[in-house]
Amino acid sequence: MILHIDMDAFYAAVELRDDPDLRGKPVVVGGSPRGRGVISAASYEARKFGVHSAMPSSQALRLCPNIVFVKPRMDYYADISKQIREIFFDFTSLVEPISLDEAFLDVRGCAGLFGDSVSIARQIKSRIKSETNLVASAGVAPNKFLAKVASDLEKPDGLTVVDPDAVQEFLDPLPISRIWGIGKVTERKFKTMGVQTVAQLRQIPEASLQAKFGINSSHFWKLSRGIDSRQVVPDRDAKTISHESTFARDIYDVGALSAWTLELTDQVALRMRRYDIVGKTVNLKIRFNDFQTITRANSLTEATNSTNVLADIANTLLERTLTRGGKPNFDRGIRLLGVGVSNLKSPQQFVQKTLFDHEDREKQNRFDQMSDEIRDRFGHSSLRRGTSLEHEIRHRPDPRVDE
């Protein structure tokens, strides 16, 4: 069975844990509402007012005038994420991180050591709670899609199990929005056809889906039947290391997307360095609110795992794709953004081209290695990288926004 472990309101939960005065209040982690800040995470109290991640901070303040803003501490959250991931590795080596706050685990074959998959999920949730004082939700299912859907159904602190012999009983009553790739635009198209549940979607002939949704029809047809053949792929075995984020609400602001691009790239580069992997191709994935997905890629002359180099390429791809003359050149909202690096090899497999390239690359490698060592020893917040003002992602002694 596959487990999907998802930390509940992770960034916000960390801040609530660390500052008891915030508990019970509507709290968001994000940039200042006085600027062009964006919400990275919202507590469950804030969500009751309609506040969600990727929302402009100014809009969140309008929805909830007494909301409490906390500046993100991404390096600190990464420290805690690493601690949680070590718990996963105590049960299985087949761990595929999706972001700082979620991962897939393949626990098939672990029953002899730790019990069945449901027991393992309970043990992981218990250890996360006891060792970090944070709460996670878990989905247990025959594949990744079903596990992901299951983990989201009973938040917070949920544990949902999908019986392999009762997949349709699990899926059929759910709204079609639970199918990956069905956003608001696609959902409206389905509703014009009288389709609101997975059971109703499943009754549509495949040919009719093809006529209405084109290349996406096969995707919808398979997922409505719980079919997902993807395997859990650990970083060390991956052909591509990537991170992506699906936004609760569509984003139209290029500056906010640039901030997310940097955040995603930093997570990818850190994972590459942990496994001593370098890559030559930077990949950018953009999914619009009508489910059209475009990918862009750029190959480097020299393989690298440098955050700065990879982020420069990723943001260049973003700007070329979405702007013209320095101004936004798209009228559809973006619901998903992803950054990945492919053509992965060990550093020894690449030959340096010139002495200048070698010296420049070695200088950057020494900087990244020194940064990682300092962070591993003293915590991520002991050394920080300049990041986008859109999110104001930087650590300060008091992370709350001064009024």
| 382 φ/ψ angles, rounded to the nearest 5 degrees | -75, -20
Q: Select which of 102, 263, 390, 392 is catalytic.
A: 102
In this structure, which amino acid lies at residue 113?
L
* Euclidean distance between CA atoms 342 and 331, whole angstroms: 30
Cα 118 vs. chain centroid, distance in angstroms?
Answer: 24
User: Using the 8-state DSSP alphabet, how is residue 230 labeled?
Assistant: P
* Euclidean distance between CA atoms 327 and 254, whole angstroms: 9
Q: Is 45 marked active-site?
A: no
Q: Could you count the other beta carbons within 10 Å of the beta carbon of residue 332?
A: 12
* Euclidean distance between CA atoms 144 and 107, whole angstroms: 12
Strand 323-324 relative to strand 327-328: parallel, antiparallel, unpaired? antiparallel
* Euclidean distance between CA atoms 230 and 96, whole angstroms: 12
User: Which residues, in sequence order, are CB contacts of 385 under 8 Å at separation 6+?
Assistant: 266, 307, 371
* Euclidean distance between CA atoms 114 and 106, whole angstroms: 13
DSSP-derived 3-state class of residue 120: helix
Output the CA angle 273-278-284, nearest 5 degrees.
100
* Euclidean distance between CA atoms 9 and 337, whole angstroms: 19
Residues annotated as catalytic (active site), given as ranges: 102
